[in-house]
Amino acid sequence: MTSGTLAGLVGAALVGLGLYGVIVDPQALRKILAFNLIGSGVFLVFGIVARKGAAAGLQSDPIPQAMVITGIVVAFAASALAVALTLRLFEETGRASLRADGGAKPGGDGAGPE
Amino acid sequence: MSVLAALDIGLALLVFAVAAWTVFAPGAFAATVGYVVYGLLLSLVWIRLFAVDVALTEAAIGGGVTGVLLIGAAARLRQAEMTTVGEAPSGVTRLFAACLCVLVAAALAGVVLLLPDQGPTLAPQAMERLPETGLGNPVTAVLIAYRSFDTVLEKVVLVLAVVGVWSLAADRYWGGAPGEARAERPEPTLAFFAQMLAPIGIVVGVHIFWVGADEPGGAFQGGAILAAMWIILMMARLTEAPQTNAFWLRLALIAGPAVFLAAGVAGVAVAGGFFAYPSGLAKPIILFIEAFMVLSIAVTLPMLVAGPPRREPRR
Amino acid sequence: MSEGASAIAATAGGSLLPLAILVPATGVLLSFLLGGRQAQRIAFGLMPVQFVIAIGIASFVWRSGEPVVYLLGGYVPPLGIALRADGFSAVMLVTASLIMPAAGLYAWVNFSTPRGSTERRGPLVVWTLLQAVQAALSLIFLGGDLFNLYVALELLTFAAVPLVCLDGRPETLAAALRYLMFALFGALFYLLGVALLYGAYGTLDIVLLSERIRAEPAVWLAAGLMTAGLLAKTALFPLHLWLPPAHANAPAAASAVLSGLVVKGSFFLIVRLWFNVLPALPGAVPGTILATLGSAAILVGSTLALRQERLKLMIAYSTVAQIGYLFLMFPLGSGPWAADAFSGGVMQALSHAFAKAAMFLSAGLIAESLGHDRIAGLGGAGRAMPITFLALGLGGLSLMGLPPSGGFAAKWLLMKASIAAGQWVWAAVMLAGGLLAGGYLYRALAPALSGEPPNMKAAPRRSREGVALALALAAVLLAFAPPPFFAFLQIGCPAASVALR
């Protein structure tokens, strides 16, 4: 088993782990952490794809590498926005969690996580 | 089994274990610290995948700057944790989620195992057209030449992220500065550390940007290191975040995407198409664009970490 | 293979394609730099330019009868990135370039920077982000490369989320955070599918992929992941929970753009994926699954809309329902009825965009004039604000699918196709949906037409009412689209073009 395949399998496991964290944990910050795990798992799948594309004197296909770099930057920006929203929500309400069921009551005025 | 293979397996298991800690650790702060370790371990994995540019980016942005962001948030949200104890989902939800996630991971793992050893690749084409760009690093060529449209729009995404983060300020703070004011007497350890590290970091950051044309490195990695230095200075309270209505700040934030866009549009007149480079001049133009990208990234990442304005604007 | 290589060449008029994206992107940067009052001027200055570009692209597509192609940087796919405009792209571009200025004109009153003040938060954010939404949508409609489209999805998310929580209330903050999380889930799973497709075929260009794709496990998994992600962004049942609070509590102009255009962006990508990238896959089972979820969305969304007490929430749940109609075109994608199904789906996207934008703007006017948007308190308001309620009613006409309206044309086409294909169940669902829509619209509008006019805080401005009415009339006018319009929609759509032979 090459390092590439190993990385790909770890990536698959991370996607599953991260998805579990997103669904199950009500705290927004833990969800953001879990999203970052999913993201890094996806990038590792790109990684194995790049490694399998070694050719022309390169050890790794540069196209997926560039995509991962772009993805890492975008993931950071998303985390920053999510963290800012979470902190502001905490300042306003004293709570920082989103319930899994959506929290919007049908007959109500669409109030948040109550 | 060779030493390297054993190391690989050990690294893979360690990465998974730390990731599991991040998900299952009891406290958010502990989980976040685990995440920072996880980011650094991931960079090692990327090195084993022979993707050094990615390893640099993951270490600097994925582990480093994201880590600072999340640790700061975890510290401020300590109080919120205590109110969510009763909200944990039921056992049924957990079971359902676990089944779903195992299914997804297994399907993904199965497809990964089915990938052929020599997969389809664009590496030959990338290397073939590399001499036109004058660059030696194919990843930089992909980012700034072959797929430049991705990169320029991703820079715009960063600007939008800043707008989004700033939009969360209260109306009366709009235009003011985020973070805390400069301290009269900064904490000595932190100040010493920052003062020692910042000059080294600046030199390293500029070097990594410059050398990225031909070796692993580039604008994102170099810019992230410069950003980290500014963040350290702000955390040590040796300097404070600028006011968000400062013209120079706004100019620095848009300089990267603006110069890139302008070069792309100028390509119509000079090279026959949007985002095309004239032959012979490609490398200087690329370095020119990258220099402004470094400036923007070095300014954008700290502003995203600093958050929305929290002090009233002066003037 | 050589046929594929010759298909990737730039065509006449291609230079307009990057401009459709770069013009609003430049607007975003300049608005952010110059701030304050300049942001508003820049936004309004560039909106007509966007419209002209959209019309230009549409005319090039019309004249050539083929998709318009542009190669960025002169690099040919698979190494480089292509932009492609087909019939569906062109009409969506024109629609977006019409709805944006309408939302902008509506927002003028609420988000102007007063004289003497250098910059306010609301105006800068609104004018910058509306242009960003325009840029993101243009890229979604024109993108020819799957990773480029991922960047477009993220661009759209970052532009849309802060608009939801602009007023800073806790409900909107929670709604925005939830929206962001669903969007992040969507983008990440889309990206995972992209990784698998690149791993299998070494290219992400849509045309090249369509030639190379075969039905193998990697493709099925990629298709499933990407569709799941895009469904979360499109708020199809059961991933619709984030939409009602987000759309109902945003400022009215933002709601119009969010419900009218932003959800159509991810829907557009699902169509691209299944009709342009994956036609080689046997689409019967996935199509049926999508249509089943769509039917559930129609029934659940309409039923929930019936129970709402607030007008804006009712309209938001109506969006959940109307999005379901869009997915009824998927099981009907091959066969002699495919062209009708495709046209029906596109018509539904267009007419819903105009109608829903009109309804949210009207609801905004009602909320401002009465101080609330409770349905129970609307008695007699129709007499005090006739034009506003006319706009609301015409929009509702299209939602119900009554003639003459674009909604009727869409449902007529979809019903024709589903009956011709022998899949009667979709026609039955559409009829039920129409009845339910009639129910919740009647409940909201009927009391307004009789009774004493309520006390109004302020009368709505004629210009703003006119904007809402113009959008509603556009939804109605779509009913009169001549046959060449439907032929135009088919340009560049492979599955339907097979059916036409």
Q: A110 and chain C: CB distance < 8 Å anywhere? A: yes
Interchain CB distance below 8 Å, A3 and B49: yes
pTM, to two decimals? 0.94
B97 and B74 both lie in a single domain: no
Q: Which 3 state secondary structure label does DSSP give C407? A: helix
Burial C157-179 (b: 16+ CB within 10 A, else e): bbbbbbbbbbebebbbbbbbbbb
Which residue is closest to A23 within chain B, CA to CA? B97
Rounded distance, CA C442 to CA C420, Å?
A: 32
pLDDT over 50 (residue C1): no
Q: How many Å separate Cα A94 from the centre of its chain? A: 25
Only one residue has tokens 């990843």, namely: B139
Q: B261 and chain C: CB distance < 8 Å anywhere? A: yes
Among the listed residues C164, C124, C157, the one whose alpha carbon sits nearest the alpha carbon of residue C312: C164
Nearest to C148 among B149, B174, B251 (CB): B149
Burial A73-95 (b: 16+ CB within 10 A, else e): bbbbbbbbbbbbbbbbbbebbeb
Residue pair C101/C47 in contact (Cβ under 8 Å)? The answer is yes
**DSSP per position, C198-244:** HHHHS--BHHHHHHH----HHHHHHHHHHHHHHHHHHT-TTS-TTHH
User: Which residues have a Cβ under 8 Å from the Cβ of B45 and sit 6 or more positions away?
Assistant: A7, A10, A44, A47, B11, B12, B15
* Mean pLDDT across chain C: 90
User: Total structural domains in chain B?
Assistant: 3
Rounded distance, CA B36 to CA B64, Å?
A: 7
Compare C176 and C283 and report the one with higher pLDDT: C176
In the 8-state DSSP scheme, what is residue B61?
I
- Residue C87, token pair as written in the block: 């019939």
The distance of A82 to chain B (nearest Cα, Å) reads 9
The mean pLDDT value for C21-39 works out to 93
Of the pLDDT bands very low, low, confident and very high (cuts 50, 70, 90), residue C382 is: confident
What is the per-residue pLDDT for C174? 93
B173 and B72 both lie in a single domain: no
B93 and B74 both lie in a single domain: no
Interchain CB distance below 8 Å, A39 and C151: no
pLDDT over 60 (residue C2): no
Rounded distance, CA B208 to CA B290, Å?
A: 12
Among the listed residues C376, C391, C379, the one whose alpha carbon sits nearest the alpha carbon of residue C476: C391
> Cis (ω within 30 of 0) for the bond into A64?
no
Q: Which chains touch C (3 or more CB pairs under 8 A)?
A: A, B
Interchain CB distance below 8 Å, B57 and A33: no
B71 and B132 both lie in a single domain: no
B131 and B260 both lie in a single domain: yes
Which of B282-286, C26-30, C130-134 comes out lowest in average pLDDT?
Answer: B282-286
B179 and B255 both lie in a single domain: yes
List, in sequence order, every residue forming a beta bridge with A97; answer none if it has no partner. A27
Q: A97 and chain C: CB distance < 8 Å anywhere? A: no
Number of other residues whose CB lies within 10 A of the CB of residue C346: 25
B137 and B10 both lie in a single domain: no
> Cis (ω within 30 of 0) for the bond into C78?
yes
**Which of A37, A49, A72 has the highest number of chain C CBs within 10 A, making it the mutation to test binding with C?**
A49
What is the per-residue pLDDT for C288? 92
The distance of C97 to chain B (nearest Cα, Å) reads 20
Q: Which 3 state secondary structure label does DSSP give B308? A: coil
Among the listed residues C493, C371, C19, A85, the one whose alpha carbon sits nearest the alpha carbon of residue B168: A85
Interchain CB distance below 8 Å, A52 and B116: yes
Range of the domain at B184: 126-315
What is the per-residue pLDDT for C445? 87
Rounded distance, CA C286 to CA C295, Å?
A: 14
B157 and B282 both lie in a single domain: yes
Which of C266-270, C295-299, C378-382, C431-435 comes out lowest in average pLDDT?
Answer: C378-382
Rounded distance, CA C282 to CA B313, Å?
A: 61
What is the per-residue pLDDT for C49? 96
What is the per-residue pLDDT for A107? 30
Residue pair C306/C436 in contact (Cβ under 8 Å)? The answer is yes
| Segments of chain A with pLDDT less than 70 | 1, 99-114
- Start-to-end Cα distance in chain C: 23
B138 and B221 both lie in a single domain: yes
Q: Which pLDDT tens digit goes with each residue over C71-117?
A: 998 898 899 999 999 999 999 999 999 999 999 999 998 888 887 77
Nearest to C174 among A22, A64, A103 (CB): A103
The mean pLDDT value for C385-400 works out to 91
Q: Which pLDDT tens digit goes with each residue over C146-202?
A: 999 999 999 999 999 999 999 888 889 999 999 999 999 999 999 999 999 999 999
Which residue is closest to B173 within chain C, CA to CA? C121
- The angle at the Cα of C318, spanning C87 to C489, to the nearest 5 degrees, equals 10
pLDDT over 50 (residue C6): no
Q: C184 and chain B: CB distance < 8 Å anywhere? A: no
pLDDT in 10s for each residue of chain B, 315 residues:
688 888 899 999 999 999 999 999 988 899 999 999 999 999 999 999 999 999 999 999 998 999 999 999 999 888 777 666 556 778 888 899 999 999 999 999 999 998 888 888 889 989 999 998 889 999 999 999 999 999 999 999 999 999 999 999 988 888 888 887 777 788 888 889 899 999 999 999 999 999 999 999 999 999 999 999 999 999 888 888 899 889 999 999 999 999 999 999 999 998 888 999 998 889 999 999 999 999 999 999 999 999 999 888 886
Which residue is closest to B262 within chain C, CA to CA? C26
Q: Which residues of C touch A82 (CB under 8 A)?
A: 177, 180-181, 184
Interchain CB distance below 8 Å, C195 and A39: no
The mean pLDDT value for C25-40 works out to 92
What is the per-residue pLDDT for A103? 40
Which of A93-107, B292-306, C204-218, C281-295 comes out lowest in average pLDDT?
Answer: A93-107
In the 8-state DSSP scheme, what is residue C272?
I
What is the count of residue pairs from A and C with beta carbons less than 8 Å apart?
Answer: 116
pLDDT over 70 (residue C277): yes
Among the listed residues C464, C468, C243, C248, the one whose alpha carbon sits nearest the alpha carbon of residue C374: C248
Among the listed residues C159, C242, B26, the one whose alpha carbon sits nearest the alpha carbon of residue B34: B26
Of the pLDDT bands very low, low, confident and very high (cuts 50, 70, 90), residue C279 is: confident
B157 and B300 both lie in a single domain: yes
Burial A36-68 (b: 16+ CB within 10 A, else e): bbbbbbbbbbbbbbbbbbbbbebebbbbbbbbb
What is the per-residue pLDDT for A1? 64
Q: Which pLDDT tens digit goes with each residue over C313-323?
A: 999 999 999 99
Q: Which residues of B touch C200 (CB under 8 A)?
A: 115, 119-120
What is the per-residue pLDDT for B58? 95
How do the residues of chain A divide into helix, strand and coil, expressed in percent and rounded to 5?
70, 0, 30
| pLDDT over 90 percentage in chain C | 68
List, in sequence order, every residue forming a beta bridge with C374; answer none if it has no partner. C310
B104 and B74 both lie in a single domain: no
The distance of B86 to chain A (nearest Cα, Å) reads 10
10 Å CB burial of residue B85 (0-12, 13-18, 19+) is exposed
Angle between helix B91-114 and C217-234 (nearest 10): 140
What is the per-residue pLDDT for B116? 82
B93 and B140 both lie in a single domain: no
Dihedral (CA of B270, B272, B278, B282) sign: positive
